[in-house]
Structure 1
Amino acid sequence: MNVLSRSCRLACAALMLFAATAKAEPEPAALVDQHHCMFCHTRDAPFLAPSFEQIAARYRNEPNARIMLEHKLRLGGKAHWGDMAMPLPADRGGPISAEDAHTLVQWVLSQ
């Protein structure tokens, strides 16, 4: 077996193992679009609001963070990151159900 072939196979095996163990959930694209999340957030860099990765890093291990974040999605909320508060649902796509808020928060916290 040639060295390049072996290296490629090892690299592929490592990528497959990483993909199998990665915990990020698939993006709920329809919800993200419907509620205009990307108007203020990005996946990996602060924009008008913190990135989803920053939110996950800050809240992932906080016991009641999921509940607080779901509440903030459903009702809007005060600023926790600088001066910008989470807009009211009417200003970002309309009301959001508890189930949809849960789906979005689970996805963000998996980043």
Structure 2
Amino acid sequence: MNAPFRRCLVACAAVMLAAGSAHGQSSEPSALVDQHHCMFCHTRDAPFLAPSFQQIAERYRNVPNAQFMLEHKLRLGGKAHWGDMAMPLPADRGGPISPEDAHTLVQWVLTQ
């Protein structure tokens, strides 16, 4: 493959990745989702035991300080904001979660 063609392919791929991220298609932090048992209660696009990630994103995406509130709730558990089920304590979801991991998960959820 010649160099100009290769550069063009790389540039096109970069534009497509950037466009996907801008439209809520960022890659799932699968290891964190698995480690903290997120899918025990949530799904990406339909309510289950708790709201879907898409529902959470729709409700909180444009709410000031929502990122901070959701990270706090993820790290400590919290009262129900939807229906009757509260966010379980971290010990019931795979153990403590660092501020950095909570930030990563919440950022991903808000892109759904």
TM-score computed with the length of structure 1 as normaliser: 0.82
Corresponding residue for residue 8 of structure 2: none
Determine the C-alpha separation between the residues in 2 that align with 1:57 and 1:92: 24
Determine the C-alpha separation between the residues in 2 that align with 1:79 and 1:109: 18
Aligned pair 1:61/2:62, yes or no?
A: yes
Question: What is the CA RMSD across the aligned residues, in angstroms?
Answer: 1.3
TM-score computed with the length of structure 2 as normaliser: 0.81
Query: Runs of 5+ in structure 2 lacking a partner?
Result: 1-14
Corresponding residue for residue 76 of structure 2: 75
Kindly state the Cα deviation for residue 75 of structure 1 after the two structures are TM-superposed: 0.1
Determine the C-alpha separation between the residues in 2 that align with 1:19 and 1:30: 21
Matched positions, count: 95
Kindly state the Cα deviation for residue 21 of structure 1 after the two structures are TM-superposed: 1.8
Higher-Rg structure is 1
Runs of 4+ in 1 over 4 A off after TM superposition: 17-20
